[in-house]
Structure 1
């Protein structure tokens, strides 16, 4: 009986050793895997990021002189180092409208608004907005730094890899991470461009006097009617000329028919 207990104790001991060996192998496999967890960054990697504000403006007002107002806006654009992104003009029965989309550096946003607002009695529409994207910027920048550290860690592991299968798998992971890094870099640049430059939409218009509008409207209608009648007459004459052989044939046919009837009567 004592030998049986010794044998069972020995078997249990051997089984425990095998489990420990297996767990040690798994731990080593995790260390060699490309999914090795990254060490936490130190406080020296942190940096102070200033407030990131996206400013936008939308203005609409009436003016007595479109050209003078446009010259005033152009002067303000040059003084504040801005640029015109879009310029659209429209005329209808009631007014003449001009719509500008302007981009200016964010630090010149307020001074530009003051410059183009001079002489404006009131605004039909004035919408100024500021969006704080500092938290979004910090989060995106942090994720980008994490991806860059992860890429560097994978490159270190790649140098130590010996098996072809491991090398291919690590290179695949590096390629995926590189795409993610480039995508986040693009998002960060887009966010920085929106922060660095503000967009202002300016719509200004001139009201056409009612009598002037009626005069122009009916005068245009009369002139268009005259031109339309002339073109219609021209088309009619051209259509007649185009069928002249049939007209001659019809006239000859009528002539012979009438001549035949006259003979019968005689």
Structure 2
């Protein structure tokens, strides 16, 4: 019995040593194996497609752009003398390097009036308004507006630069194209881009012209006294009636002259009928 217990203990000791050795061996193996390093990201250049121009890099627009303001004004006032007021406006135009683009005048039942549309350099806008306002007791209408289009100007400029850069890229690709189909397709793209460039350039020029020159509309008028207005109105109506009667009589005479063959036939026909009736009476 004693020998049997010794044998069991010896077997247990051997099994424990084997497990400890196995664990130690496993640890050695695990520590000896090195984990593979992370694969570095490799960038592959895409093959350039001759039919597709890569988009150009975004253009950096200088944010230090001068503020773009469109100024406009509408003025309306009454005056005692149209000629003096117009002379004062002409003086203001000369002093501020402005120009008249539209000039109209007329008369209604109660007033004589004149309308002017003037272009003035934007830097002289305020001074021009002050010069015109001298001698005016009050304005019936005085509207002054200022529209900030700086953001629109920057956007148009940026888009225009991008389109021009894209056009240059297509022109470079066109030089390398060999097939006729490729050449035609690239030229079609260039034509489309050129139309967009011209459209953007036109919008930009129009915007710059409105910014550089302000538009001012001036209406001034003189009130006609009531009696004078009645006399003028009645005489005008009388003269119109005389002219209308004269033209009506002239039209009637011209109509008769143009119908002279029918008049002659009518006279001849009436003559024979009358002669025949006289014969019947004699019989």
In the TM superposition, residue 140 of structure 1 has moved relative to its aligned partner by 0.4
Q: Within the alignment, does 1:97 sit opposite 2:113 as a pair?
A: yes
Partner of 1:197: 213
Does structure 1 conserve the Cα–Cα contact (< 8 Å) formed by 2:100 and 2:118?
A: yes
Partner of 2:155: 139
Q: How does 1:221-232 map to 2 (within 5 A)?
A: 221-229=237-245
In the TM superposition, residue 130 of structure 1 has moved relative to its aligned partner by 0.5
In 2, distance between residues paired with 1:232 and 1:151? 70
In 2, distance between residues paired with 1:247 and 1:105? 77
SS of 1:205 mapped into structure 2: strand
Deviations 1:89-125 (A, max 9, x none): 1211111111111111111111111111111111111
Distance of aligned partners of 1:236 and 1:260 in 2 relative to their CA distance in 1, 3 Å threshold: farther
Does structure 1 conserve the Cα–Cα contact (< 8 Å) formed by 2:93 and 2:128?
A: yes
In the TM superposition, residue 229 of structure 1 has moved relative to its aligned partner by 5.0
Unaligned runs of 5+ residues in structure 1 are 1-23
Q: Within the alignment, does 1:28 sit opposite 2:47 as a pair?
A: yes
Q: Which has the higher helix share?
A: 1
Partner of 2:190: 174
Q: How does 1:113-192 map to 2 (within 5 A)?
A: 113-192=129-208
Q: Structure 2 length as normaliser, TM-score? A: 0.72
Aligned length, in residue pairs? 237
Does structure 2 conserve the Cα–Cα contact (< 8 Å) formed by 1:89 and 1:99?
A: yes
SS of 2:140 mapped into structure 1: strand
Does structure 1 conserve the Cα–Cα contact (< 8 Å) formed by 2:78 and 2:222?
A: yes
Choose from 125, 138, 143 the match for 1:109: 125
Q: How does 1:8-19 map to 2 (within 5 A)?
A: none
Q: Structure 1 length as normaliser, TM-score? A: 0.76
Which entry has the higher C-alpha Rg, 1 or 2?
A: 2
Deviates more, 1:228-237 or 1:75-84: 228-237
SS of 1:37 mapped into structure 2: coil
Q: How does 1:38-57 map to 2 (within 5 A)?
A: 38-41=56-59, 46=62, 48-57=64-73
Unaligned runs of 5+ residues in structure 2 are 1-43
In the TM superposition, residue 155 of structure 1 has moved relative to its aligned partner by 2.2
In 2, distance between residues paired with 1:235 and 1:29? 83
In 2, distance between residues paired with 1:227 and 1:153? 74
In 2, distance between residues paired with 1:238 and 1:36? 79
In the TM superposition, residue 156 of structure 1 has moved relative to its aligned partner by 2.4
Q: Within the alignment, does 1:210 sit opposite 2:216 as a pair?
A: no
Deviations 1:17-42 (A, max 9, x none): xxxxxxx79x3155x4423132344x
After TM superposition, which residue ranges in structure 1, 4 or more long, deviate above 4 angstroms?
226-261
In the TM superposition, residue 144 of structure 1 has moved relative to its aligned partner by 0.6
Deviates more, 1:87-96 or 1:239-248: 239-248
Choose from 91, 98, 122 the match for 1:82: 98
Deviations 1:231-258 (A, max 9, x none): 6666677878865885687578658856
Does structure 2 conserve the Cα–Cα contact (< 8 Å) formed by 1:53 and 1:134?
A: yes
Does structure 1 conserve the Cα–Cα contact (< 8 Å) formed by 2:53 and 2:169?
A: no
